[in-house]
Structure 1
Amino acid sequence: MHIIYISIAGNTRSFVKKLAAYAEEKHQVNAENPLIELKEIHENSDFELETSPYFAFVPTYLEGGNGVDNGDVEILTNVLGEYMAYENNFKQCQGIVGSGNKNFNHQYCLTAKQYAEKFSVPVLDDYELRGTPADAERIYERLVEATKNN
């Protein structure tokens, strides 16, 4: 499985590495369990055409508004959206996993929801901050299931 992600404060990077380690454990037990390949997108990334299916992991960093009735401005994670739009890379996206801080109420994982709407792909799951081992297990199973259904 291929995961493309952006990490600003290191939370998303930490989580996807935890997810990849869990996949490795599952693969050791049964070789049919897929491994995870990670690709981090950042401001200096060279954009390239994605030719195989992937999942996008995106944290939420917003400025202004409440995300409900008076707007919001996505900050810091825009380059992932630009990468997905580049050469229609979003067409290879099988789903989005969002993260954020639940203290932000409606804005929790709002960037993932916005990308899902913009690119017509499902939000498969979410986790808070760096996630827990239980989050990694649940999300891995969800990704495996999504891979089978596509």
Structure 2
Amino acid sequence: MVYFSSASENTARFVAGCRFQDEGINVYRVPLKASEPALNVREPYVIMVPTYGGGVIKKAVPIQVKRFLNDPENRAWIRGVIASGNTNFGEAYCAAGDIISAKCHVPFLYKFELMGTPEDTAAVKNGLVQFFGTLEPR
């Protein structure tokens, strides 16, 4: 699991609630600041991202995530995407997931609003355990 969380830490709290490590799933965070060392992931992963842009689809994917995925080695290992968003964004709700799915040719696995619900946390955790269990190398 690779995730990006802004300074609000909403996505970080969601990921912590999933307790992926209890299931043997490694968790990596895309750095928030450009001054932090770049993240290099060399194993299959699903990326979880918040949707930015306040409803402007062109601005939906955080720049930090774009930078991470523009590294061909990182992009080679992506297997799926999960996105959060705000239903107030209308058509742009969870648009970051749509964009990453289309550009990286991976399935958009799940979407949830803001910090998610306990049902979202359980669905994502159980879904990823099952997803990684059936994954074949690319």
> What TM-score comes out, normalization by structure 2 length?
0.84
Partner of 2:95: 110
Q: Sort the Cα spacing of 1:64 and 1:125 in 2 relative to 1 into closer, same or farther, 3 A.
A: closer
1:54-69 superposed matches below 5 A: 54-62=45-53, 65=56, 67=57
Q: Give, in angstroms, the shift of residue 96 of structure 1.
A: 0.6
Q: Give, in angstroms, the shift of residue 112 of structure 1.
A: 1.2
Secondary structure (helix, strand or coil) at the match of 1:37 reads coil
Q: Pairwise CA RMSD of aligned residues?
A: 2.0
In structure 1, stretches of 5+ residues that fail to align are 28-33
Return the alpha-carbon distance in structure 1 between the equivalents of residues 49 and 60 of structure 2: 11
Give yes or no for contact 2:55–2:90 (8 Å, CA) kept in 1.
no
Q: How many residues align?
A: 132
Q: Sort the Cα spacing of 1:130 and 1:48 in 2 relative to 1 into closer, same or farther, 3 A.
A: closer
CA offsets per residue over residues 27-74 of structure 1, 9 Å max, x none?
5xxxxxx23332221223322432111110100011574x4xxxx334
Amino acid at match of 1:123: F
Q: Does 1:134 align with 2:123?
A: no
Return the alpha-carbon distance in structure 1 between the equivalents of residues 40 and 55 of structure 2: 33
Q: Identify the match of residue 78 of structure 1 among 44, 60, 63.
A: 63
State which structure, 1 or 2, has the greater radius of gyration over its C-alpha atoms. 1
Secondary structure (helix, strand or coil) at the match of 1:115 reads helix
CA offsets per residue over residues 47-105 of structure 1, 9 Å max, x none?
2432111110100011574x4xxxx3346x11112112213312211211100111212
